[in-house]
Structure 1
Amino acid sequence: MIRIQKDKDNQYSFVVTAKSGNSLLQSIPFASRKDLDATVKELRPLVKRTSVFERQTSHSGKFHFALKNKEGSVIAMSKPYSSEAGMENGITNLRNRISSLDPSEIP
């Protein structure tokens, strides 16, 4: 499921959740709902490309990934993972989740 959020500064973001309810991906803030909606519509074809995932390691040794748009700008970040294998599994889960979303689950 993709959940849309509006913060106190009137910025929008989205969260992609697994069927279990766990968060797979949190977007950056978007200034307008129109920009957010355009990005959400591009998620399905975007996650099929391997080049849009940037794998990173924090200074504390945690692993996470960033999702980039076609222009190469970061649009969302994963939660931290304790292992590289966990991060790779997170990418696979995100791809599968977005690919299997019912149209009613996409705002």
Structure 2
Amino acid sequence: MIKIDKKEDGFYQFILKSDNGNTLLKSVSFNTENEIDSTLKDIKTLKNANGKLFERRTNTDGKFLVELKNSKGKIIGSSGLYSSEAGMENGILNISNSLDIDFK
């Protein structure tokens, strides 16, 4: 599920949630809802992206996270932290399914 929020600073953000309501990913700020729509359409056209949409990272505490990129390689969203690499990979599958992307 994709939820679009208008933040207090006037910018917009999309939040990607799982079926059970857990937050999978929060986007960067966008100026308008139309920018979000355009970005999401761009991502959904990248079928079979071979994982190029996702940057896997580890923070200084050894926790794992995922950053979602658009077709130009710009980071447009970040996941929460995962305690294991397997959890992060499962998160990527959940994000992909929620966005209807086939990244393999």
Q: Scaled by the length of structure 1, what TM-score is found?
A: 0.86
Question: CA 1:47–1:2 in structure 2 vs 1: closer, same or farther (change >3 Å)?
Answer: farther
The CA RMSD over aligned residues, in Å, is 1.6
Identity of aligned residues (%): 43
Query: What is the TM-score with the length of structure 2 in the denominator?
Result: 0.88
Contact 1:47–1:95 at 8 Å: present in 2 too?
A: no
**Which has the larger share of helix?**
1
Aligned amino acid, residue 36 of structure 1: I
2:17 counterpart residue number = 17
8 Å CA contact 1:48–1:95 kept in 2: the answer is: no
**Structure 2 unaligned regions, length at least 5:** none
Structure 1 residues not aligned, in runs of 5+: 101-107
Distance change (3 Å), C-alpha of 1:46 and 1:25? farther
> Separation in 2 of the partners of 1:95 and 1:73?
17
- 1:52-91 alignment runs, 5 A limit: 52-91=53-92
Report how far residue 33 of structure 1 moved: 1.9
Q: 1:2 to 1:34 in 2, by over 3 A?
A: same
Number of residue pairs matched? 100
